[in-house]
A and B are shown apart, each in its own frame.
Chain A
Amino acid sequence: MDYRLRLAKRMLFNKKGSLIGAVLAVTIGILVIHVNFVIFQGLFDAIVRDISEYRNGDVLVTNEDDYIDKSDSSLVSWFERISYVDAAAPRLSSTAEMEITKNGQRIEKTRIPVVGVDPFNDIRASTVHETVAEGTYVFSRNSIVLGNSVSEDLGGASVGDNVKVMIVDRWGEEQTKRFIVSGIAKSPGGQGFDYSAVIHIDTLRDMTNREDQTGSIMVKLNDPSKALEVKEFFLRSFPNDGFLAETIEESAEEQLAGFRSGIAMINMIGYFGMMSSAFAIVTIQMMLVNGKTREIGVMRSIGAKRKDILIIFIFQGMIIGAIGAGVGTAAGLGYTVYAKETEMSFNNSLPLEVTYNWEKIVQTALTSFVLAIIASLYPSYRATKLLPVEAMRTV
C-alpha cells in the first residue's frame, strides 16, 4: 500500500471523532437527497400513476374537433390488436346539475363533472372501478356512481338513492334523467372520480345528443415504455381523421408542470444540503491539518514534497467520501426499502410510487464522493504551505 494512503488512513482512523463527524456530514447529505426523492418523486410518480390508471391511460386519443366521430368499438378493436396494448376504453365527458331529495329536503348541486364510461371496456383499461368504496361500478344505463365529494355535497347520497341529473345537450336543450346510485367512489389522494359522477357512456351520449361520438379513448399498455411507439403508429395509421394522441407524460404535463418545478427546487435544496456537508468536511479536515502540523513538519524534514503532503490529505478526502457515500447510500436505500415495503403514503392518503432509480442513486453517491474530494483540496493545500521549521515548533 502506498505510504501516503496508509498515513492518510491511520491519521483519519486515529481521530475517530473527526472521521465520524465527516462521514456523518456526507451521509446526511446523501440521505436528504434519498428522502426527498422517495417522498417527492414518489408523490409525483404516484400522481402520474393515478392519472394514467384512472383517466388518461398510457396513451390518450382525442380529436382536434373535441369529439371523435369514428366508431369507438372499431378503434378499441384496432388498438387491442397491437401486442403492447392491454385494453382500450372510450370516455365522454360533460357537466350536470344534480338534484336529490333526502329526508324530505331537496338538495341541488350544479356544474358536477360527469364521465361516461363503457363498463365492459373500462374495467379492463382503468382501475377507477376499484375506487368504488361502497356498492358497485356502473353496470346499467340508469346506474350512477357518485364521487365521495359529490355524495357529501348532495347531503350524504348513498347507494340506492335516486338522483335526478340534468344535462344541457349539444343543441342547448336541457335533458333530464333519473339514476339509481350504484356506488360511491373514493380514491386515495383524490386523483380518481371523487369530484365527479360516472354513468354509462351510451346514456351520456343520449343525454348530450352525441350518438356515436366519443370524447377520448384511453389505451392501457402492458409495457408503458412503448407508449411513444404506439402513439406514433396510431397517428401514422389514421393520418386524415384529425386525431390527437398523447403519452401519459404529454397528457399529464399541464397538471404536473408546477409539481415538476417543485421537485427541481426540492432537489436543489438537497444539493445545497450536500454542499453544506462539503463545508463540514472542510472544517473537520482543517482541524485534522492543524492537529497534525508537527507531523507534517517532520515529514517535510525527512524529504516529503509538498505534493506528497497534498496527496495524503486528498486521500483523506477520498476515504471520507468513499465511506460517507457508502454509508449514505446504504442508509438511503434502507429508507427507500422501508418506504416501499410499508407502502408509505403521502399525508396518510396517496400511496407513494417508490422506485429504485439506480442512475440517480449512483449519481448521488458519486457527486458526494467528488464533493468530499473537492472539499479536501483547500485543507490539503493549506497543509502544503506549512514550513517544516515552523511546523515542528508546534507541540
Chain B
Amino acid sequence: MKALDNVTFSIEQGEVVLIVGSSGSGKSTLLNMIGLLDRPTDGKIFIDGKNTISLGDDEVSSFRNQKLGFIFQFSNLLSDLTVLENVLLPRQIGGSEEDIEKDARDLLKAVGLEDQIHKRANKISGGQAQRAAIARGLINKPSIVLADEPTGNLDSVTSETIVQLMKSMAKKLNQTFIIVTHEREHFGNVDKVITIKDGKSFEGDYHAEMEVIV
C-alpha cells in the first residue's frame, strides 16, 4: 500500500500554496517529503533545480537549515529555551556569526511578541507560541516555508491572526508558503490549492514526483 502515488506538481517562488485533504489522506507525509524529513521510496523532489533525494544526511540538514522553514501544528518550541533563543536557534545551528539578535528581535516584533522575548517557551500561550514558531521558521530567510496545520490547535480568532501573518510575510519577503490544512476556509484567496484525495493508501510504500521551483 502506498501513502502517496503519482503526486506531481510544481510551485513557483512567492506562491502561497495550500495542500488540503481529509485526515489521513497523506498531506503531512507529502509535506514531510518536501521538507526532507521523510524520503520517498521512489520518485524525485526538485527544489531550486536540485534533486534533493540524492543528498546525504549532513547535506539534507544544511539544506533544511538554509532553504526551508518549518511551522508545526503544536509550535514545537524548545521548552528549555526562551522565545528569543528559540527564534535564534536555526541561525545558530547554521553557524552564523553575524549579529543575529537584531533580526530575531525584528521578527518577534513583526509577529507581536516583542514583550515576550525573554519568557520561557512553555510560559506563553498557544497563539503566542505559534507566532514565535513562525518567527523561528523565517529567521534564516528560507526560500520555502512549510507549515503543517499551523492553525489546527488554535481558536478561530488566533487562527485568523496567524493566517494573515503568514500571508503578509510571504508577500513581504517573497517566500513560498506551502501550508497543509484541513481548514481551507481560514486561508481565503491563495495562489494554488493541491488536493490530496481520500481513498489513497496511507501505509507502506509510496511514490512521489514533484518539482518545487523557486
B32 touches A389 (CB 8 A): yes
Given A3-B92, A388-B37, A389-B32, A300 and B61 contact (CB-CB distance below 8 Å): yes
A301 to B65 Cα, complex, angstroms: 8
Q: Does A305 contact B (CB under 8 A)?
A: yes
Q: Does A295 contact B (CB under 8 A)?
A: yes
Q: Does B58 contact A (CB under 8 A)?
A: yes
A301 touches B35 (CB 8 A): yes
Contact with B along A354-395 (1 / 0, CB 8 A): 000000000000000000000000000000000011001000
Q: Does A105 contact B (CB under 8 A)?
A: no
Q: Min CB distance, B80 to chain A, in Å? A: 4
Which segment, of B70-78, B110-118, B196-204, faces chain A? B70-78
- CB contacts under 8 Å to B, within A271-306, are 294-295, 298-306
Pick from A294, A303, A389: contact of B66, CB under 8 Å: A303
Most buried by B among A7, A14, A302, A304: A302
A303 touches B76 (CB 8 A): no
Q: Min CB distance, B154 to chain A, in Å? A: 18
A389 to B90 Cα, complex, angstroms: 18
A3 touches B78 (CB 8 A): no
B62 contacts which chain A residues (CB < 8 A)? 303, 305
B32 contacts which chain A residues (CB < 8 A)? 389
Interface of B: prevailing SS: helix
B70 contacts which chain A residues (CB < 8 A)? 301-302
- CB contacts under 8 Å to A, within B46-73, are 57-58, 61-62, 64-66, 70, 72
Q: Does B193 contact A (CB under 8 A)?
A: no
Q: Does A11 contact B (CB under 8 A)?
A: yes
A305 to B65 Cα, complex, angstroms: 10
Q: Does B136 contact A (CB under 8 A)?
A: yes
A238 to B9 Cα, complex, angstroms: 102
A304 touches B78 (CB 8 A): no
B64 touches A302 (CB 8 A): yes
A385 to B40 Cα, complex, angstroms: 19
Q: Min CB distance, B77 to chain A, in Å? A: 8
A14 contacts which chain B residues (CB < 8 A)? 79-80
Q: Min CB distance, B33 to chain A, in Å? A: 10
Pick from A6, A7, A10, A303: contact of B90, CB under 8 Å: A303
Given A3-B89, A3-B92, A308-B93, A299 and B57 contact (CB-CB distance below 8 Å): no
Given A308-B93, A389-B38, A303 and B78 contact (CB-CB distance below 8 Å): no
B64 touches A299 (CB 8 A): no
Q: Min CB distance, B59 to chain A, in Å? A: 10
Q: Min CB distance, B118 to chain A, in Å? A: 14
B88 contacts which chain A residues (CB < 8 A)? 3
B65 touches A303 (CB 8 A): yes
Q: Which residue of A lies closest to B82 (CB)?
A: A10
B85 contacts which chain A residues (CB < 8 A)? 3, 6
A388 contacts which chain B residues (CB < 8 A)? 37
A305 contacts which chain B residues (CB < 8 A)? 57-58, 61-62
A42 to B3 Cα, complex, angstroms: 71
Pick from A11, A302, A306, A307: contact of B89, CB under 8 Å: A302
A6 to B94 Cα, complex, angstroms: 16
Q: Min CB distance, B134 to chain A, in Å? A: 13
A14 to B57 Cα, complex, angstroms: 30
Most buried by A among B62, B89, B94, B140: B89
Contact with B along A301-329 (1 / 0, CB 8 A): 11111111000000000000000000000
Q: Min CB distance, A110 to chain B, in Å? A: 80
B61 contacts which chain A residues (CB < 8 A)? 300, 303-306
A6 to B85 Cα, complex, angstroms: 10
A299 touches B80 (CB 8 A): no
A295 to B79 Cα, complex, angstroms: 9
B72 touches A392 (CB 8 A): yes
A3 contacts which chain B residues (CB < 8 A)? 85, 88-89, 92-93
Given A299-B89, A302-B136, A392 and B64 contact (CB-CB distance below 8 Å): no
Q: Does B81 contact A (CB under 8 A)?
A: yes
A302 touches B90 (CB 8 A): yes
Q: Which residue of B lies closest to A303 (CB)?
A: B65
Q: Min CB distance, A212 to chain B, in Å? A: 85
A307 to B62 Cα, complex, angstroms: 12
A307 to B93 Cα, complex, angstroms: 11
- CB contacts under 8 Å to A, within B77-113, are 78-81, 85, 88-90, 92-94
- A-B contacts besides A295-B78, A299-B89, 6 pairs, CB < 8 Å: A14-B79, A298-B76, A299-B93, A302-B65, A303-B93, A304-B93
**Sampled A-B contacts (25; CB under 8 Å):** A3-B88, A3-B92, A7-B78, A7-B80, A7-B81, A10-B80, A11-B80, A295-B80, A298-B72, A298-B76, A299-B78, A300-B61, A301-B35, A301-B37, A301-B70, A302-B65, A302-B93, A303-B64, A303-B140, A304-B65, A305-B61, A307-B58, A392-B37, A392-B72, A392-B76
Measured CB to CB, the residues of B under 8 A from A are: 32, 35, 37-38, 57-58, 61-62, 64-66, 70, 72, 76, 78-81, 85, 88-90, 92-94, 136, 140
Task: Give the 5 A-B CB pairs with smallest separation, nearest first.
Answer: A303-B65, A10-B80, A3-B92, A305-B61, A298-B76
